[in-house]
Amino acid sequence: MNCILAVKMYITKMTDESGPGMKVLLMDKETTSIVSMVFGQSEIQQREVYLFERIDAGNTEPMKHLKCIAFLRPSKENIHSLAMELRRPRYGSYYIYFSNITPKADIKTLAEADEQEVVREIQEFYGDYLAMGPHLFSLGIPISYQGNGWDHDILSRCVQGVTSVLLSLQKNPFIRYQNNSKMAKRLAETIRQVLSKESELFEFRQIGPPPLLLILDRRDDPVTPLLNQWTYQAMVHELLTINNNRVSLGHVQGISKELKEVVLSAEQDEFYANNLYLNFGEIGQTIKDLMDEFQKRSKSNRKLESIQDMKNFVEAYPQFKKMSGTVSKHVVVVGELASLMERHNLLEVSETEQELACQEAHSQHFQHVRRLIANEKVRHEDAAKLVMLYALRYENHSNNDTSGLIELLKKKGVSDRLVKMVRTVVEYGGAHARQSDLFGHQEAVVQITKRFFKDLRGVENVYTQHKPLLVETLEDLSKGRVKESLFPFLGNNSNVATKRPQDVIVFIIGGATYEEALSVQQINQTSSLGIRVILGGTTIHNSTTFLNEVDAASARSRIQNL
């Protein structure tokens, strides 16, 4: 189960099927992102694709000697534009691939438009999602809630996205969903409708226990997206925001032109691929090693005396160039992270965040939060997030003084929106909206002993003690211990369905996070658990985008309630 490979194979097949010759890739806005997540430009150039064209660009320059590979979502607008294109074809021949199930009527519309018989192939290749990593996918939907319910378009996009993941990995799963979420249930049901309607398509030869699709709601764990992160990928996303593998560094002072926007792609950047899950300290060390090595090489290049030396240099050139690019890029990124960390006192903030997420000690935490709010260096966002975490953990604590902290926030000059967000977050993901024991209040004996041994070993890293709720759910799942009352099977097939699946696809409505992606990676590498997991979400959140989502969700729910 590898998302990136799945999409890559689809695109490779497209370029193969069209045979030799110069090619242009015709895409829409979304498929452009889908392709760019798995293929670099130079890589796809070697497959004879030289031009990229947006179907909505309105370009009319004819180039009859090119073959056109059209990779499009089967949306109404795309069908319409494509039909127009086929009536007056710009290219010699067309190989059309829709990224999802396409209605027969649309195929007919296109067939009638193809008066010049330029279409050679028309197929469905189910790469209808952003492959963020081998085990991580996103649908690029920044805001998925409409109050407590679905927006129709977003629901159907989610259904399409998840079914295309299933099809591209050849999985026909049983479905479980989070019981307290109406949205999860609705999505699960709609997906099952597609599964049964297109049952021919979902006939796969399955080895081993049938796979499972687990649909969750972000509301069950509002804590994870609020925390500051310390592993490389998650940290870059939290502090600098990764958008389709791209990180904008335009705001950094004195940055060179080519580094204004850097691409962080595990597919093309070996250094990044090896280090995206390492923590900040380790990254610093790795970068230093890398620079040392680079310096060694560049020094040896200076004394190019003999021809043999020069030859060696030229021979080493591609690696040399690649390496120098990698070094400067990551040095800049890590440098920027370090300066942000320094400027905003993030270490101290993060320590308190982790304590709030993992331990129960009201008076101590209250003091810490107060002290940090008073600290000049602490950013307004961070101060507000601390109060949010406090409000979530001590929502029902007898000494809860969220109002007092909110007053302090106001005094600090935190914007009204952020101050209001404290209440909104509790409204969004407070105890009433959760079904799991996020903070471990009703600890069973097992949990106490677990904690006991955790303390025995000592905390290895105070900044990364938090484990997302998802980890617990998945570990329980691997042992067949997930309760049906909390995560029921869809339909009454629980006796047929295995309780201990091997392949699990998790989809989180309201977005996943890179911290969860890292945890899933760890679970996948722990062979004793015996499960392989793919994580997906409507989007991949950092705290800023998450708060936007929470804000939008509640604003709409308020309007609905009126």
Partner 1 sequence: MAEGGGSVLEGFLCPVCKADFGTAVKLLSHFEKEHNEDKDVLQAFKDLFGKAKKKILKSDGVYGNEGEIQASSRKVMGYSPSLYEPQPIGAVRSHSQQFSAVRSQHLEHYTVETNKLLIRLDKILKDLPSDPLKRKAHEQEVVPWVDEKMVRLCPSCSRSFHLTRRKHHCRLCGFVMCNDCSYSLALDTARKMTSPISQVEPQTELQGSSLPSQKLKRSNSNSSLNSVLSLVEGVHQIDTGLRVCKECLHLLESREALRESRAARPILIQFYERLRTYMQDANQFLPTYIKMCNSISCGESTYQLKEAQALWAKLLRLAENIDSLSKKILVLGSADTENPPRGRALQLQQQIRAAATAFLRNEMLGLPTLPTEAKYLEMQEQRRQELKARIQQEQLEAQASLQLQKQKVREKGRDKQTFDRNHVNVHQDTVLLDSGWTPEKARLFNSDDPMVQQMNNLKHYIKEAKLAQRVDEVEALERNLEELQEEYWRQQEQKRQETAS
Strand partners, 63: 91
Pairing of strands 246-248, 242-243: antiparallel
Residue 445 CB-density burial (10 A; 0-12 exposed, 13-18 middle, 19+ buried):
exposed
Closest CA to 337 of 326, 328, 346: 346
Residue with smaller CB distance to partner 1, 6 or 323: 6
370-374: long-range pairs with CB below 8 Å, 24+: 370/405, 370/408, 372/345, 372/348, 373/405, 373/408, 373/409, 373/412, 374/408, 374/412
Contact 175, 497 (CB under 8 A): no
* Range in contact with partner 1 (rule: CB under 8 A) among 76-84, 398-406, 427-435, 441-449: 441-449
Length of the chain: 562
Residue 398 backbone dihedrals phi, psi, to 5 degrees: -65, -30
- Whole-angstrom distance, CA of residue 238 vs CA of residue 234: 6
Among 197, 204, 295, 410, binds partner 1 (CB under 8 A): 204
Residues 52-71 that bind partner 1 (CB under 8 A): 59, 61, 63-66
Smallest gap from residue 291 Cβ to partner 1 (A)? 19
Residues 528-547 that bind partner 1 (CB under 8 A): 528-529
- The string of DSSP codes covering 509-537 is ET-EEHHHHHHHHHHHH-GGG--EEEEEE
Residue with smaller CB distance to partner 1, 173 or 222: 173
Smallest gap from residue 408 Cβ to partner 1 (A)? 31
363 binds partner 1 per the rule CB under 8 A: no
The interface mask with partner 1, positions 170-199, x = CB under 8 A, is: x-----------------------------
Residue with smaller CB distance to partner 1, 135 or 541: 135
Q: At what angle do helices 380-393 and 362-374 cross, to 10 degrees?
A: 170
Smallest gap from residue 195 Cβ to partner 1 (A)? 12
305 binds partner 1 per the rule CB under 8 A: no
Among 196, 396, 442, 453, binds partner 1 (CB under 8 A): 453
Contact 120, 93 (CB under 8 A): yes
Among 206, 295, 319, 339, binds partner 1 (CB under 8 A): 319
Residue with smaller CB distance to partner 1, 29 or 311: 311
- Whole-angstrom distance, CA of residue 58 vs CA of residue 47: 25
* Range in contact with partner 1 (rule: CB under 8 A) among 98-106, 373-381, 383-391, 488-496: 98-106
285 binds partner 1 per the rule CB under 8 A: no
Residue with smaller CB distance to partner 1, 255 or 529: 529
Pairing of strands 503-509, 532-537: parallel
459 binds partner 1 per the rule CB under 8 A: no
Residues 114-133 that bind partner 1 (CB under 8 A): 114-117, 119-127, 133
**How many residues sit close enough to partner 1 to count as binding (CB under 8 A)?**
93
Residues 248-277 that bind partner 1 (CB under 8 A): 266-267, 272-277
Amino acid at 433: A
* Range in contact with partner 1 (rule: CB under 8 A) among 151-159, 332-340, 471-479, 495-503: 471-479
